[in-house]
Amino acid sequence: MSADVLIGVYPPAELSVLHARRTTPAWPLAEAGLTLTHLGRGAVWLALRALGLRGGSRLAMPAYHCGSEVEAAHLAGLEVEFYRVDDQLRVDEDDLARVAAVTDAVYLISCFGFPTVARPSGSRVIEDAAHGLFSLHAGTPVGAGAEAAVFCPRKSLGTPDGGAVVVPAGRQIDVSEGRAPVRPMARSVASLVAARAAIARRRQLRARAARAIARMSRGDAAAREGTLTETVIGEWNLEVGDMEAAARAPSRLTAAVLGRVDGAAIRARRRRNYLRLRDELAELTLEPFRDLAEGTCPLYFPLLAGDRSRAIAALLARGVRPLEIWPVPHPILDRRRFPEPERARLSLLALPVHQALEDWHMDIVLAAVKDVLAKPSA
Ligand SMILES: Cc1ncc(COP(=O)(O)O)c(C=O)c1O
């Protein structure tokens, strides 16, 4: 089956914002203490440095993580002490307090844009809001108030690259020299533009773009064959030089877009799209993701799928391109000591809710999910 549309989890290029008038962007994009980087892991790298964490320092990190943030800490020579996260992906606050008491700082991750509110008293906190740009908790932006906050605008804004770190004004950030490499950025822009065409209103245009992407994407070929995990994973075994490169300035295009985006409008659209899925699929996600508290700006909808590889291949055939969510933890984690998130690693996939999607796109996503769930062997 080949679809006449391709709806991905991350937003496509939104070059029209370059014509928008510059306004004061939402927090943190106009902060005095903001530093933009090429990638999110580069922002983590700079955050660790800003807090004076170096070889021999001890950092508390969650047992459920993406892996590239742990790689940054590992390469910085830190001793990582993991704290427990339960089978619903909630932080085990007693375990966090225990680990926080013996570490120099605590690293918190707001998964999928949902704020992590645990705060061990007396600890310095790095808040990873790589998924949480424009998310609010009780009216306050996620990341505000931390000693350092890390963002990954490339995941939420359709830019070719982009990480960001925010530290309180006055604290020094020691940036890496140089800028993101030009050629990979040009490739990235081309694929973001193709992704935009693949969700266009004009059917012929989007069908052509969807076919072209299907031919060229290594990830999609792996998804069709059921070998996505091993093809996509590769965020570790990096070197210090990779982190320094990730900590360089982003491409000029990314910097220009970041000065013009409308955070409130993005949050409103993502919430609307999320609720569309949540209203029909609530029992197929973990408990913390069934409610969308006021202000939460979700990155995607996490869906539990019994046979995830099959579900991903079947959704792709219907024009929806999910992602596996954090299937493999960083190798320094002893998985037997921290078994609680294993089901999530095995079963969670991300469904799109991003701001470029209108109601008719969400109809397609929902119909595809229902069809796939109704036909276990399709
Ligand atoms: C929670 C978290 N932190 C940090 C990062 C690093 O971002 P990037 O891939 O842009 O280096 C990611 C994504 O990979 C992430 O999911």
Q: In the structure, what pLDDT confidence band is assigned to residue 378 with cuts at 50, 70 and 90?
A: low
Ligand 1 mean position, distance from CA 360 (Å):
30
CATH of domain 21-166: 3.40.640.10
Please report, as a single letter, which amino acid is at residue 303.
Answer: L
Ligand 1 interacting residues, C-beta cut-off 6 A: 39-41, 44, 66, 68-69, 109, 128, 130, 152, 154, 163, 246
Ligand 1 mean position, distance from CA 89 (Å):
17
pLDDT recorded at residue 170: 76
Ligand 1 mean position, distance from CA 276 (Å):
26
Assigned token pair, 352: 């799109």
| Ligand 1 atom nearest 39 alpha carbon | 10
Tens of pLDDT, residues 96-131? 999 999 999 999 999 999 999 999 999 999 999 999
Question: Would strands 105-109 and 125-129 be described as parallel, antiparallel, or unpaired?
Answer: parallel
Are the C-beta atoms of residues 207 and 197 closer than 8 Å to each other? no
- pLDDT of residue 377 exceeding 70, the answer is no
Equal fold, 7-13+183-240+262-374 vs 21-166: no
Ligand 1 mean position, distance from CA 211 (Å):
29
- Ligand 1: residue of 10, 37, 38, 41 to mutate (most ligand atoms within 8 A of CB) is 41
| Ligand 1 atom nearest 155 alpha carbon | 10
Q: In the structure, what pLDDT confidence band is assigned to residue 201 with cuts at 50, 70 and 90?
A: very high
d(CA 351, CA 348): 10
pLDDT recorded at residue 361: 98
- Candidates 3.90.226.10, 3.90.1150.10, 3.90.25.10, 3.40.50.620; correct CATH number of 7-13+183-240+262-374? 3.90.1150.10
- Strands of 34-37's sheet in order across: 34-37, 163-166, 148-151, 125-129, 105-109, 58-62, 79-83
Residue 83 host element (H or E): strand 79-83
- Residue extents of the structural domains in the chain: 7-13+183-240+262-374, 21-166
Segment 193-198 mean pLDDT: 97
Alpha-carbon torsion angle 24, 154, 254, 149, nearest 10: 50
Ligand 1 mean position, distance from CA 326 (Å):
10
Are the C-beta atoms of residues 127 and 119 closer than 8 Å to each other? no
More confident residue, 378 or 153: 153
**Ligand 1: residue whose CA is nearest its atom 10:** 40
Q: Name the pTM for this structure.
A: 0.96
